Structure 1
Amino acid sequence: MNKKDLPIPKGARPKWVVDCARVGAGITALKYLSRYLYRGVISESNIVANQDGRVTFKYINGKTKSKFNWRVLTL
Structure 2
Amino acid sequence: MADQIQIAIDRDVLERLQQIMVPPISDPNAVIKSLLYHDGHASRAAIALEADEHHFTFAQELERSSQGIYECGGGT
TM-score (norm 1): 0.29
**Which structure is higher in RCO with an 8 Å CA cutoff and minimum separation 6?**
1
Return the index of the structure with the highest Cα Rg: 2
TM-score (norm 2): 0.29
Q: Which has the higher helix share?
A: 2
